[in-house]
Chain A
């Protein structure tokens, strides 16, 4: 028997909704079978926590007296983009301070950047604000230097154009020297492998054909209630899928938005990748309503049903060279080692499974307590029928 969003929301209101995290749902399906589990359970909570570079926050500071039309803005010496109205700007996660040594002096440590500014704001710390302007009749001030605190900002909301990647690659380094990438430090001769997905807990892997997650879906974002506002940039539903319908490699993405003022620095954290740069780790939880058995089937996919492709970040990735180095599933990846070319290679995640589980449980609790309701998507995400194809940049 199919359920509707309205029916489930009614149950949430009465604190009667049956909610399991994706791990628990897998166990239940194993025990009672898909049919029974689909009938019994209303919502499966999924989550992920990991570095998501395409993230940032819109901020409005309010007007100073005299007024300034901020043309260039820095928060703790990290530049924000201010090509907007007078006191609106966007602080991007990967921006670094103007004076950062970058990689000029050995591999940089990138200790501070946009992601850390966002975390500091959320943590309630005072942040240094500096802005310059050319001055106009209506906005005469040419300079401002002060501190701001999230409490005093008019608006501060996270608005991330690409988060929550549906699957990702496994990074190795087949060269003979260490490389420093956004997938971490990779030792030569494929001596380690990194991956970045919560596997069986990850939202878009549990709804691989976007049957429930769409534009308008209410999500748990960094501790606040946020929304999916569009498909993320580089959204690509056309990636080759395995027999379970799961894309093998980075595919769908979500653009998400939520109020920074309600978030927690435990779930939105600045990231420093040696030799690469800064980023923001974002914690996202997505409820999957078990409307029918098909949705349940996908929500019950396990680590071993989900595969990721091995990618050589030394030779292939930088030059967009497609090369099939095989795939490994998340059960193998999470075991701590995978076999590559007859050799045991230790694995490490960049995404935190334990934190994802924590988020899935927090979301579960909010729903059970009647504090978090489902929002039916206003529009589905583009699926496999989409005419748009993911394109490389042609250099003319």
Chain B
């Protein structure tokens, strides 16, 4: 489903596309010259918005902005997927249901970017800074109260 969405250009009239994507990649691909290839072989402009490599989970995470001609873009996506990289469009949205959140802070250590954090150590309330969220969804299964939700 995400694939179709990523490659769905029906709503744009231009042949140039610009998309924000989240890439989850297994460790074995970390050494690959992905950026170089996308630029050189696929004529795409590649902008890294956020990057994170978790050594313990052996998993990398990139949020990128990818732009170029639509056919190049589609080929570039195929290339990334052929490497076993999981792609998600940055069009979805993570929401915290404040009625359900108990500020237990179980999610905080699992959030790779610090989007979920405790600001005030006296009240111990958990804040959610959407700007920092890279939609990795790590918080969803670890939240005991089902407060973190993904919306498309």
Contacts and interface: CB of A to CB of B under 8 A. Distances in A.
Interface of A: 49-51, 107, 109, 111, 178, 184-185, 187-189, 191-192, 194, 266, 269-274, 279, 281, 334-336, 346-355, 357
Interface residues of B, number: 23
27 contacts: A49-B102, A107-B141, A109-B141, A184-B106, A185-B106, A185-B110, A185-B142, A191-B56, A192-B109, A192-B110, A269-B102, A272-B146, A273-B144, A281-B102, A281-B104, A334-B124, A335-B121, A346-B108, A348-B109, A350-B106, A351-B104, A352-B103, A352-B104, A352-B124, A355-B102, A355-B103, A357-B123
Contacts of A178: 57
Contact of A271 (B103, B123, B145): B145
Interface of B: 56-57, 99-100, 102-110, 118, 121, 123-125, 141-142, 144-146
A334 to B, nearest CB: 6
Contact of A350 (B57, B100, B125, B144): B144
- The 3 nearest A-B residue pairs measured at CB: A353-B124, A192-B109, A354-B103
A354 B108 CA distance: 15
Contacts of A353: 103, 123-124
Contacts of B56: 187-189, 191
Contact of B141 (A269, A274, A350): A274
A348 B144 contact: no
Contacts of A189: 56
B125 A354 contact: yes
Contacts of B104: 50, 281, 348-352
Given A191-B56, A194-B106, A334-B121, A184 B142 contact: yes
Majority secondary structure of chain A interface residues (helix, strand, loop or mixed): mixed
A271 B110 contact: no
B124 A348 contact: no
Given A281-B144, A352-B102, 19 more contacts: A51-B144, A189-B56, A194-B106, A269-B145, A272-B144, A272-B146, A274-B141, A281-B104, A334-B124, A336-B118, A348-B104, A348-B106, A348-B107, A348-B109, A349-B104, A350-B106, A351-B104, A353-B123, A354-B123
Contacts of B107: 348
A346 B105 CA distance: 11
B128 to A, nearest CB: 14
Given A187-B56, A272-B146, A353-B124, A348 B102 contact: no
Contacts of A355: 102-103
A336 to B, nearest CB: 6
A360 to B, nearest CB: 13
A269 B56 CA distance: 33
Contacts of A271: 144-145
A350 B142 CA distance: 11
Contact of B146 (A111, A348, A354): A111
Contacts of A270: 145
B67 to A, nearest CB: 36
A349 B99 CA distance: 19
A185 B144 CA distance: 10
Contacts of A192: 109-110
A73 B117 CA distance: 42
Given A191-B56, A357-B123, A349 B105 contact: yes
Contacts of B121: 334-336
B51 to A, nearest CB: 19
Contacts of B105: 348-349, 352
B103 A348 contact: no
Nearest to B146: A272
